[in-house]
Each structure stands twice: as C-alpha cells, then as structure tokens.
Amino acid sequence: MPDQGNRALVILGAGVMGTAIAVTAAGHGLPVVLVETDEDARKRAQGRMTQHFRHARLLGALPADREPAEVVVSAVPDAAAGAAVVIEAVTEQFDTKARALAQVAGLVSAGTRLVTNTSSIPVDELASTLPQPQDLVGVHFMNPTYLIDQVELVRGPHSSEAAVADVTALLRRMGRRPVVVRDSPGFVTSRLLHPMINDAVRLVDQGVATAEEVDTLMQGCLGHRTGPLRTADLIGLDNLADSLTVLFERFGDERCRPADLLLRKVRTGHLGRKTGQGFYDYKEALS
C-alpha cells in the first residue's frame, strides 16, 4: 500500500457503521476524518464512538499496547481531498451511495482508493458512475466492526489489482481478515443470511413462534451465534429491508421480498438496537 504519511483515512457517514469503522481504524492507530453533512448525526457521532470504544475495550477487541489515533468529525466533504483511502458508509441505497462516491471522486486524485461499505449493492453498478472505476472496491464490514474481524472484500469487474491489494493492506492494518469474493448482488454473506432472517421474520408474523423462541432454537439446534432476529436488530431493520429489496429486484426470489412485519417495524421507526426497539427492547442498554 502506498505510504499514507500523515494522510488520514476518510470515512463518509457517521451512522452506526461509519462510527464503528472509525473506532476500528483509530483503535489500530490510523487517524480518521469522519465526514457527516447532517448536523444531528454529527452531534450523535461522538457519543456513538465513545460507546463503541468502551464496548471494544471491555471485550479486548482493540490493541492494548497503543493509544487510539485521533478521529476528527467534519461537516465538509472537502475534507476527503488528500486522503489515501476513502470509505463510503452511508445508507444502503444506490442513489445515496452513488452521490456520495461521485462527490468524493471529484475531490480526490486518480489512484485514491475508494471503498463502498455495502451489504448488497453490486460494486460494478456503483463503479459505472465514477470517472475512475478501477479505484473502487467493495468491503462488507460486519456489525459490530470492531468485534467481527472477518470481512468480505468485493472485487468488481473494473477493480484494479492495485486497488484490491491496497485495500487488503489497509484492512490488515485495521486488524481485519479480508476474504476476496467476486461481485454479485449480496455477495456471499448477505445472499445467504438475509433471506434466512426474512424467513424467521415471517415465522414470527405467522404466530408460529416468538422472536425469542426462533432465536433460541437457531442457537441451540443449529449453532447460530445470536439467532437471526437478534442479528436483524444488530444489522438495523431498515438496512436489512434495503438489502432484501436489492436482492429481490435483482433475482426475483420471493424469499427476498421484505416480510410485512419487517416493513411495519421500519415504518414505525423500530429499527433495532440503534433506536432502542426492534424485535427486542434495548432502551435500558442505551440509557
């Protein structure tokens, strides 16, 4: 990877994923500029990062032998100019991601590596909107980023070998273990996991079992670490619905049509852990 010198890693979006990625990078000694244009999200960012750092330290997920690097929160996208790598971590919607990437592509020089943090949108579709499509690769960080060190690194049809190598090196500096996969809607993990979660939501909606019962059976009988519905709450029910919509539109598989109960929860603002309510209640944990 080219020497970054004092150039910070730039992350676009200060939501749950953006702040978690920032904490992961800073905790491994990489200075970060976190760009967020929404004022309310900027105000919440520091509290989120403090919570992430506390959780990560409690579980020994960050190196104990180094002080975290600085994270600067900026309202100005121009802060991306001069970055060696820019990670886009905005909402899981094509138009929103494409706008964010196109804006930053106009600020950075050719050869600056661009990363889209997506769970479902094909990298090639986003690359087609950029002047230097070879500089874009996909990275599907798992949530919480600082605890789950395995990541999908998605090589798009236009992604250069140099871009893949540089982003691989960055991920390893962040303590992540990348597995390179080819571009496809949903890649590997979302294409397997999200329809299964959707099926679990339908079982709850049909009254076959409660969320707790579904998760207990999946943990005890099939070895799922948390259960599909706790996982859904961690992903964010809005993000899950967006990802399923991408899969349904690309493949036409009815298992990927977002379940009615999932959509009802999204409409009522019960989005999972980040809002304090999803399939489970997290209000005490957030207080």
The pTM (predicted TM-score) of the whole model is 0.91
> From the CB of residue 95, how many other CB atoms can be counted at a distance below 10 Å?
9
Residue 140: active-site member? yes
- Token pair, residue 178, equals 């990348």
Q: Which residue among 28, 140, 194, 224 is the active-site one? A: 140
**Residue range 95-132, pLDDT digits in tens:** 999 999 999 999 998 899 999 999 999 999 999 999 99
Same domain for 157 and 256?
A: no
Torsion sign (Cα): 185, 191, 194, 199: positive
Residue 284 resides in a domain: no
Q: Are residues 33 and 161 in the same domain?
A: yes
Q: Number of folded domains in the chain?
A: 2
- 195 shares a domain with 176: no
Does residue 153 sit in the same domain as residue 172?
yes
Cis ω for the linkage preceding 144 (within 30 of 0) = yes
Phi, psi of 125 (to 5 degrees): -65, -40
> Where in the sequence is the domain holding 272, given as residue range(s)?
190-279
What pLDDT sits at residue 2? 44
Do 102 and 136 meet the contact criterion of CB atoms below 8 Å apart?
no
Strand partners, 177: 150
Per-residue pLDDT tens digits for 203-223: 999 999 999 999 999 999 999
Contact 241, 195 (CB under 8 A): no
First-to-last C-alpha distance (Å) of the chain: 42
Q: Which residues contact 161 (CB under 8 A, 6 or more apart)?
A: none
Q: Specify if 244 maps to a domain.
A: yes
